[in-house]
Chain A
C-alpha cells in the first residue's frame, strides 16, 4: 500500500465526517421549517433538533470506528460541554477496535512471548469473548485456573493519535466549540486515552490499586499475572459474575443493593480521598457482582491527582466554603472557573451557577446516609446541566475555564452517582477527614 492510498483513506474519512456536517445543516433547516409550520415551542423543537443531529453525528462517528468514536466519547465525558442529546448518544459509544483474527492473536503472542497461546495455556479460546476498548478479551485456562487475556490491536496508539489529530478540528467546528477554550480539556482526555493503550502501566496501576484497596469492605479484585503480561497482552483471573447494570435492573432486595452501593461508594471514597489515584471509568461493564461482593475489573483508565489539585477541588465540599460567598469566590478563582478579567455581571452569574451546582452535587455529603434511589436527584443534575447549557450569559463567556484535572474527577463522580441511582442504594457518607476537622 502506498502513502497515496493511505492518504486517500484519510480523505474518505474526512468526506464521511463532512457528510454528517451536511446532515446537521439539513436538520437545522428542518428545525426552522418545523417551527414556522407548526408553531412548536422553540424549546421542544430545539430538543428534537439536537436529538436528530446527535443521531446523525453519532451514526457517522460509529461508522468510522477508531479515533472519531473516541472523540465522540471524549466529548460525552463532560456533561456540560455538549447538549444532553449528544451526550446521551455518545455515551453509548463503546469504542471498539476492529476484532483481531486468531492468527493475529497468535502473531502477537509470538512477538511478545516468543511462544504461541497454546504453549502458554492448556486451552485458549479462538474467538474473543468480549471487546476491550482497544483490543479484545480471550478466555484461557491452565492447570485448572481460568484466565481473562486482553490482547491489544497492533499499532493502536499510533492510529488513535492520528485519528484524533484528523478529527478534532472537524468535530470542534461541527459542534461549535472553540479550540482555544477546550484545548486543555482535550489534552487531558487524549493523555488518558493513550494511557489505555499502555498495558504495562495498566498492570502496574491494577496491582497498586487492588492492593491498596484490599481493606475496602465487600470489594474484590481479580488477581493479575505479571508473568503472563507483556506490553500488548494483559492476563488476569477470569471472574464469573453478573454485570452491575444487570444486577441493578434485576430483582435484588434493598439490603443487597445497599451493601453493593456502599461497597462502590467506599471504593471510590478511599481512592479519591486517601490515595488521590482512582479508577476513572465507572462504566457498569467494569463491575461484576458475585457472592454479594463487588468485583472491579479493568484499570485501563486511572487518574492521579496531585495533592494541591485535590485540595483545591474538594475544598468545595466544605460547607464553610460553599456557604460563604467570599470564600466560594476565592475557591472558584483558585480553580480557574472564575477568571480575573470577567466583567462583574458575568462573575455574579457564574458564582450563582457554580453555587447552585455545588450545592446539588455535594448534597450526598451533607447527610449521613444518602438515598440515591430518591426521585429526582439524578434528574436534577441533568436539568441543571441542561439549564446551564441554555444559559445565554454563560455561553457568551469564553476562555479556558476550570482545570483539566477536574475532567476525570467529574466523570468519576458523575458515573458513581449514576450507578448508585441505578442501584437505588442508600449509602452512608462522610466528608473526607481533612474537611471533617475543618467543619
Chain B
C-alpha cells in the first residue's frame, strides 16, 4: 500500500506538476479511505519526501558502492556523485523540473525535501571530512559547518544548468560539472573562501557605528 500511494502521488505530480489539493481529494480519486492513507503517511508531503529521499539514497549508494570509491579523493567523489545524480535525473526530467529544481532554492526548503536535504548534508559532511584528510580542503574549525551548505548550493547550480542544457548528449552539463567542481575546490582550498567569508560577515552583520550616526542625523529632521 505504501508504495502504491507513492506511485499514485508521483503519477499525479508528473501529470499536474503539483500535488493534489488535499489528502481527501487524493484518496477519493483512487478509491481509498483517508484512514488507509493515514496509516502510512501523515501528509502528502511525507509521502513525496519518501520518494526524493530514496532518489538520492540510490544515487549515493551506487557511487559509494563503486569499486574504486575508497581510493577516490573528495573531488573525485563529488564528481562521481554529480555525474550519477544527473544520470538519475535523466529518467525523471519533468518531475525533477517541477518538484526538485525550484524547491532546492536555499530560501524555500519545502517539507517534502527535508529528508533529501538531510541525506545530502550527511553525504557532504563525509565529503568535507575526506577533503580535509586528503588536504584538498582547508580545515577552518567552526567554519567547516558551512561546507555542506556550499556543496548543496553547488548541487543546485548543476541541476539548474542541466535542466536548461540542450547540447548533444548533455555534454555541456558534463563540462559544467567538471569546471564548476574544480572551481569549488579551488575556493575551498585557497584563501578565496576566507576572503569571501570575511566580506560576507562585513556585509551581513549590521555595523553599529554608522547606523547610529545616521539616526542621530535624522533626529533633528523629525519634528
Which of B142-185 touch A at CB < 8 Å? 157, 160-161, 167, 169, 171-172, 174-182
Q: Which residues in window 1-22 of A have CB below 8 A to B?
A: 1
Among the interface residues B67, B172, B174, B180, which one has the most CB atoms of the partner chain A within 10 A?
B174
Q: Please, which residues of chain A bring their CB within 8 A of the CB of B178? A: 98, 100-101, 104, 154
A35 contacts the other chain (Cβ, under 8 Å)?
Answer: no
Partner of A101 from B67, B75, B176 at Cβ < 8 Å: B75
Residues A100-131 near B (CB distance < 8 A): 100-104, 106-108, 110-111, 118, 126
Determine, out of B11-19, B76-84, B110-118, the stretch whose residues face the partner at the interface: B76-84
B79 to chain A minimum Cβ distance, whole angstroms, is 4
Is A155 at the interface (CB under 8 A from chain B)?
yes
A154 touches B79 (CB 8 A): no
* B79 to A, closest residue via Cβ: A103
Q: Does B36 contact A (CB under 8 A)?
A: no
* A1 in contact with B79 given A100-B178, A155-B167 (CB within 8 Å): no
Q: What's the dominant secondary structure at chain A's contact region? A: helix
A103 to B67, Cβ gap below 8 A?
no
Task: Please provide the chain B residues from 87 to 119 with a CB less than 8 Å away from any CB of chain A in the complex.
Answer: 87
**Cα distance A154–B170 in the bound complex, in angstroms:** 9
For A98, what are the chain B residues with a Cβ–Cβ distance below 8 Å? 178-179, 182
Q: Are B171 and A155 in contact (CB under 8 A)?
A: yes
Contact (Cβ within 8 A) A103 B175: no
- CA gap between A165 and B171 in the complex, in Å: 20
B18 to chain A, nearest CB (A): 25
Is the CB of A158 closer than 8 A to any CB of chain B? yes
A1 contacts B75, CB within 8 Å? no
Residue of B nearest to A124 (CB): B68
Taken together as a complex, chains A and B put the C-alpha atoms of A208 and B75 apart, in Å, by 41
Q: Which of A122-157 contact B (CB under 8 A)?
A: 126, 153-155
In the complex, residue of chain A having the shortest beta-carbon distance to the beta carbon of B77:
A103
- A107-B76 contact in complex given A1-B161, A158-B167, C-beta closer than 8 Å: no
**In the complex, what's the smallest C-beta–C-beta distance from B183 to chain A, in angstroms?**
11
Cβ–Cβ contact A106 & B180, under 8 A? no
Closest to A152 in B: B171
- Least CB distance from A181 to B in Å reads 34
Please give, as numbers and ranges, the residues of chain B lying within 8 Å of A110 by CB-CB distance.
87
Question: Quick check: B76 and A101 within 8 Å, CB to CB?
Answer: yes
Query: In the assembly, what is the distance between CA of A107 and CA of B79, in Å?
Result: 10
Q: Across the interface, which residues of B come within 8 angstroms of A104, CB to CB?
A: 79, 83, 174, 177-178
Tally chain A residues at the interface, Cβ within 8 Å.
19
CA distance A126 to B72 in the complex (A): 10
- CB-contact partner of A154 in B67, B68, B160, B174, under 8 A: B174
Chain A contacts for B161, CB-based, 8 A: 1
B76 lies within 8 A of A155 (CB): no
Q: Contacts A103-B79, A155-B171; is A1 near B87 (CB within 8 Å)?
A: no
A159–B167 Cα distance when bound, in Å, is: 11
Asked if A103 and B157 sit within 8 Å, CB to CB, the answer is no
Question: Are A103 and B172 interface neighbours, CB within 8 A?
Answer: no
From B80, B167, B171, contact of A103 by CB (8 A)? B80
Instruction: Give how many B residues have a beta carbon under 8 Å from the other chain's beta carbons.
Output: 25
Which of B68, B176, B181 is close to A1, meaning CB atoms less than 8 Å apart?
A: B176
In the assembled complex, the Cα of A102 lies from the Cα of B87 at a distance in Å of 17
Q: How far is the CA of A108 from the CA of B177 in the complex (A)?
A: 13
Within 8 Å CB of B80, what residues of A? 103, 106
User: Chain B's nearest CB lies how many Å from the CB of A341?
Assistant: 46
Interface residues of A in 49-99 (CB under 8 A from B): 98
Q: How far is the CB of A284 from chain B (nearest CB, A)?
A: 30
A101 touches B171 (CB 8 A): no
The listed residue (B68, B87, B172, B180) touching A155 by CB distance below 8 A is B172
The distance in angstroms between the C-alpha atoms of A107 and B66, with both chains bound, is 13
> Which residues from A are CB-within-8-Å of B167?
155, 158
Chain A residues contacting B175 (CB-CB under 8 Å) are 153-155, 159
User: Which of chain A's residues has its CB closest to B181's CB?
Assistant: A101
Rounded to whole Å, the gap between the CB of B99 and the closest CB of chain A is 21
Are A1 and B174 in contact, CB atoms less than 8 angstroms apart? Answer: no
Contact: A107 with B174, CB < 8 Å?
yes
Report the minimum CB–CB distance from B102 to chain A (whole Å).
Answer: 15
Q: Which residues of A contact B87 (CB under 8 A)?
A: 110
Given A103-B76, A104-B83, A104-B174, answer yes or no on A1-B180 (Cβ-Cβ < 8 Å): yes
Nearest opposing residue in chain A for B157, CB measure: A1
Q: Is the pair A111, B75 in contact by a Cβ cutoff of 8 Å?
A: no
Q: Which residues of B contact A111 (CB under 8 A)?
A: 169
In the bound complex, residues from chain A placing their C-beta under 8 Å from that of B181 are 101
CB-CB < 8 A to A154: which residues of B? 169, 171-172, 174-175, 178
Residue among B83, B179, B181 having the largest count of chain A Cβ atoms under 10 Å = B83
Bound form: Cα–Cα A107–B80 in Å: 8
CB A281 to nearest CB in B, in angstroms, measures: 25
Q: CA–CA, A126 to B76, complex, Å?
A: 11
A198 to chain B, nearest CB (A): 13
- Nearest A residue to B82 via CB reads A103
Q: Which of B67, B76, B180 gathers the greatest number of chain A CB atoms within 10 Å?
A: B76
CB pair A118–B67 under 8 Å, yes or no, is yes
Residue of A nearest to B86 (CB): A107
Cα A13 to Cα B200 with chains together (Å): 27
Residues in chain A near residue B157, CB distance under 8 A: 1
Inter-chain CA distance A153–B175, complex, in Å, is 8
- Which residues of A are at the interface with B, using a C-beta cutoff of 8 A? 1, 98, 100-104, 106-108, 110-111, 118, 126, 153-155, 158-159
A to B CB contacts below 8 Å, 9 in the list = A1-B180, A100-B178, A103-B83, A104-B83, A118-B68, A153-B175, A154-B175, A155-B174, A158-B167
Please name 9 further chain A to chain B contacts, defined as beta carbons within 8 Å, in addition to the given A1-B160, A103-B76, A104-B174, sorted by A numbering: A98-B182, A101-B79, A102-B76, A104-B177, A106-B83, A153-B175, A155-B171, A155-B172, A158-B172
Q: Which 3 A-B pairs have the closest CB atoms?
A: A103-B79, A155-B171, A154-B171
